[in-house]
Structure formats: C-alpha cells, structure tokens
Amino acid sequence: MKTSLKATAQVGWRLAKAAVGRDVSHRADVKLPTDWFGSVYGGWVVYTPPISSTSVVYSCGIGEDASFDLALISRFGVTVHAFDPTPKAVDWVSAQDLPPSFEFHQLGIADFDGMARFNAPPRRQDASYTLVEGRGNAAVAVQASVRRLSTIMSDFGHDRIDLLKMDIEGAEYGVIEDLVSSALDIRQMLVEFHHSFEAIKVEETYRAVALLRRRGFKLFYVSPRGEEYSFVHMDHL
C-alpha cells in the first residue's frame, strides 16, 4: 500500500509540473503482459513473451548495478551485451563475479563513432558520467570511446536487437534520432529520459517519444517518476 500511495503521489506531482511545462506526461499506447527485472534502483519493465535464450540484448549504461542484466540471464538464459566506458562502471564490473553470458564492452553509445568527453558525476559517490554539456563535473571529465548502434551491430554481426536498454545520461536523444534514421531493426526499447537535467528541455523528450511513435513503436509502460519508458515495435507484438 505504501508503494502504491507513493507512486500515485509521484504521478500527481508530475502531472502538476507537466501542466506548467516543467515535466512530461505520456500515457501507454497498449497494455501488454510484462514483468519487472532487477533491483528497485536498476530495474526495468519488459514485455516478456518475445524474449528467449536466442534474443539479442544490448544493455547500455551499467554504472554499479547489473541487477537487470543478471535477472534476464537467470530467467531466459540470454546473453547480455553490456556497454559502459566510464571509470566507476569499469572498476565495479571488474570486481564482480559475473557469468560469461554477461559480456561487458568498454564502449559508450552515441550518435557518432569516435572519442567523447564524459563529465564526472556531480557527487563523488555517484557513478553516472554524462556527455551532456553543463551537467556534472567537467573539471574531472574523462575521454572514452563511443560508437553508433549501427556500427556495433555490424561489428558484432547482429541484424537486429530484440531488447535495447538505454540509461545513458542524456545521450539518448541523439541515439534515438540516429537509430530511427538508420532504420535499425530494434524490437523492444527501454529508455530513461533525462529531461530532469537543467540542460535538457522537456520538449526534447516529447520530440523523441513522438519520433518513436511515428516509426511504429508503441509505448507500454511509463514509470511513476516519468523518466523510464518501455516501447515495443508494432511489428513484433
């Protein structure tokens, strides 16, 4: 009951902020059978019927929580390709006893191939670096390799992504435009939008969701916080 009341309060507060242009408000397009995978902090809602041991899964943005990835591995026996080039994530992953089906790649996801500057988190105890200018601690930024999804898919020999999770601290907007323009075969997508950042306007999230809907993605879940979204492409319902 406490969780339900808290979620209801979060939704109400978001709607109030959305009414004055300080937050976003979206409703799900379809109702689907779903399950929650991972911890309270690092978990996601997944449309489960299409997922199997042969699914191609990309998990972009690990930080210090692989509970989502490990839950998928445990449930489906799937291989998860995990991406995060930032120092705390690399150190954390190297210190864990992770199964071989958790394949970690020290690469960031962006809308270009090359090197990128990641600003450190504003608080030292946090793990989330960001590509967003004006966010985080630029004084201790790091340089790291980034790749387009199309480049990674080509390098890995993948012609599709069955499940794509992106928690990439503001870089999701450019990546969404790039994957749509590249007409990649992505069947289910879980995205954390970062319109809570001062440097990112709520209109950017509205634009990204509208773009995905125009390209056939159906929204089936929005978290009470209004930042975690789950989509499935209509061709794969």
* 67 occurs within a structural domain: yes
Residue 122 lies in a domain: no
The strand pairing partners of 108, in sequence order, are: 146
Q: Is residue 184 part of a domain?
A: yes
Average pLDDT of span 67-86:
98
In a domain, residue 83? The reply is yes
Sign of CA pseudo-dihedral 216, 220, 224, 225: negative
Query: pLDDT tier at 8 (50, 70, 90 boundaries)?
Result: low
Q: Has residue 223 been placed in a domain?
A: yes
Domain membership of residue 82 as a residue range: 30-105+152-236
| CATH number of the domain bearing residue 182 | 3.40.50.150
Residue of 180, 100, 193, 119 whose CA lies nearest to 148: 180
**Mean of all residue pLDDT scores within the chain:** 93
In this prediction, residues 184-192 reach a mean pLDDT of 98
